[in-house]
Amino acid sequence: MIRETIGDVWQGPYEVVDARAGDPETKRWKMVVITGSSANVPTREPWIVRTEAWLRGLVAESVPTFGICFGHQLLAQALGGEVIRNPRGREIGTKKIVRRADDWLFEGLPKEMFANVTHIDTVGRLPEGAVSLAFSTLEDHQAIRFSEVCYGVQYHPEIDADIMRGYIETRREILASEGLSADALLAETSDAQPGAETLRNFVKRFASR
């Protein structure tokens, strides 16, 4: 899904690394995208802590790095912030994202846009020097600039309407137990193309570097 979203703005090769399988290989990466995960950063599993150390190295070397959902939270924790269970509850579906600061990441996009989200954890404390760029009703940090070449987004640029509906349907009973209506969420679901454009903007920025 991430490759499809990036599309033609990246013509180079891809390599998939499973961080759970051991230490990530040390290579000269052009760019790194850290995906979402069903894991939770606050559990502090050994592979999570190990990956955070690897990410600190990437950021220190100014490797362009983009975190998505779990990846966004992982970067925040790795760089000195703190990830916690969101006290406002689960955020899922197509949500309005409001920009609080201008940044090239949002080039060509309106101040208020829509993106698809599914998460229960949140960045409770920002790392020193990080800047929160956008928020939603249930999430204070939908986008964070950690450095000039390192960004994270809590939403999922790669998830379209069909995939989002699948997530909602799969969690129908859980959502009901939390007081959320799956039918109402499904009725509001869309492809949320502006969210996808932020990932493309990031890759476009560094593709020719």
Catalytic residue among 52, 69, 72, 197: 69
Contacts of 167 (CB under 8 A, 6+ apart): 92, 118, 159
Q: List the structure tokens of 78.
A: 């790795």
* Helix residue ranges, H only, the chain: 2-6, 46-60, 70-78, 161-170, 172-177, 182-187, 193-206
Our answer to whether residue 69 is catalytic in this structure is yes
Q: Name every residue whose Cβ is closer than 8 Å to that of residue 79 and which is 6 or more positions away in sequence.
A: 55, 56, 59, 127, 130, 146
One of 52, 91, 139, 158 is an active-site residue; which one? 158
Q: Has 119 been annotated as catalytic?
A: no
Q: Give the CA-trace dihedral at 57, 62, 67, 72, to 10 degrees.
A: 70
How far is Cα 153 from Cα 155, in angstroms, rounded to an integer? 5
Active site residue 107: no
Q: At what angle do helices 46-60 and 70-78 cross, to 10 degrees?
A: 70
Give the integer Cα–Cα distance in Å for 36 and 99: 22
Amino acid at site 191: D
- Indicate which residue of 72, 119, 141, 156 is catalytic: 156
Catalytically annotated residues: 69, 156, 158
